[in-house]
Amino acid sequence: MIIAVDPADREPPYQQIRIQVLAAIAASTLLPSTRLPTIRQLAADLDLATNTVARAYRELEADGAIETRGRKGTFVRESKPVDAGAASTRQLKAVADA
Amino acid sequence: MDTDMASVFWFVVPGIVVPALFTILAFWSPNRRQVNRWGKACDVTITPANEEQIRSHLARVRRYRSVASLPFWWLAFIRVVDADFPPALATPAIAFAAYICGGLLAELTGPLTRPDGVRHAALVPRLVRDYRPNWVRTLSLSLFAIAVACVVIRVTVVDDARRLTYSLPLTLALVLTVSVLAKIAARRIVERPQRETDPDLLAADEGLKAAAVSMTVGAELLAAMVAAGVAAAASVPAETGAWAWLLVPWMLVLQWASIGVLALIVRQETWGYRRRYLQQSVAVPA
The reply to whether the predicted model has a pTM over 0.95 is no
- Contact list in B for residue A19 (CB cut-off 8 A) is none
Domain-located, residue B239: yes
Residues spanned by the domain of B30: 5-275
* ipTM, two decimals: 0.81
Across chain A, mean pLDDT equals 84
| Measured distance CA(B146)–CA(A1) in Å, rounded | 44
Are B126 and A37 a contacting pair at CB < 8 A? yes
Alpha carbon B15 to its chain's center: 21
Q: Tens digit of pLDDT for each residue in B145-191?
A: 998 888 777 777 665 555 555 567 777 788 888 889 999 999 999 99
Within-domain flag for B283: no
Q: Is omega for the bond preceding B237 within 30 degrees of 0, making it cis? A: no
Q: Distance between CA atoms of B257 and B41, rounded to whole angstroms?
A: 19
Q: Is residue B280 part of a domain?
A: no
pLDDT beneath 50: ranges in chain A: 83-84, 98
What local confidence, expressed as pLDDT, does residue B194 receive?
A: 87
B129 touches chain A (CB under 8 A): no
- Residue contact B283–A5, C-beta within 8 A: no
Binary contact (B122, A45; C-beta < 8 A)? yes
Residue A78 Cα, gap to closest chain B Cα (Å): 17
User: For residue A97, what pLDDT is reported?
Assistant: 54
Contacts (Cβ under 8 Å, ≥6 apart) of B58: B29, B30, B34, B35, B38, B208, B268
Question: How many C-alpha atoms does B172 have within 13 Å on its Cβ side?
Answer: 18
Q: How many structural domains compose chain B?
A: 1
For residue B281, is it within any domain? no
Which stretches of A1-98 are assigned E, i.e. beta strand?
2-5, 35-36, 66-68, 74-76
Instruction: Judge whether B267 is closer than 8 Å to chain A, CB to CB.
Output: no
Which pLDDT tens digits describe chain B residue by residue (286 residues)? 777 888 899 999 999 999 999 999 999 989 999 999 999 999 899 999 999 999 999 999 999 999 999 999 999 999 999 888 888 888 888 999 999 999 999 999 988 877 778 898 988 899 998 998 899 989 999 998 998 888 777 777 665 555 555 567 777 788 888 889 999 999 999 999 988 878 888 899 999 999 999 999 999 999 999 888 888 887 776 666 777 788 888 889 999 999 999 999 999 999 888 776 666 544 455 5
- Domains and their CATH numbers in chain A: 13-97 (1.10.10.10)
**Contact between A4 and B123 using a beta-carbon 8 Å cutoff:** no
In a domain, B251, yes or no: yes
Would the CB atoms of B119 and A5 count as touching at under 8 Å?
Answer: yes
* Inter-helix orientation angle B199-235/B93-108, to 10°: 150
B9 in a structural domain: yes
B206-232 pLDDT, tens digit per residue, is 999 999 999 999 999 999 998 888 888
In a domain, B284, yes or no: no
Question: Is B282 inside a domain boundary?
Answer: no
Smallest CA–CA distance from B194 into chain A, residue: A45
